[in-house]
Amino acid sequence: MPYTVRQLSFGDLREDDVAGLYDGPFPWENTFGFHLAGMVGHDFFKPFAVTFDFETLRIFLTSQLTSPVTCSAR
């Protein structure tokens, strides 16, 4: 069932009206010791170069139009 996420943000990056899809109960919802409400798919990340820094637990999203956005894990 399609739906729209009103606002999705990672660090300073914010997107409004992101398309979502509900296809039943989410099997990983409580698997990792915290509530996982869903997953972000490739359509959201498609306009960016995505860099994972595993040593500092940061994700960098870089668009051709903007400066890199840093998303720190907490």
Q: pLDDT tens-digit profile of 5-58? A: 899 888 888 889 988 888 877 788 888 888 877 788 888 888 888 999 999 998
Task: Please state the domain count of the chain.
Answer: 1
Which pTM was predicted? 0.61
pLDDT of residue 66: 61
pLDDT of residue 69: 59
pLDDT of residue 6: 92
- Tell me the CB-side half-sphere exposure of residue 57, using CA atoms within 13 A: 3
* Contact criterion met (CB below 8 Å) for 8 and 15: yes
> What tokens appear for 43 in the block?
């359509």
What residues pair up with 15 in beta bridges, in sequence order? 8
Query: What is the domain range of residue 16?
Result: 2-72
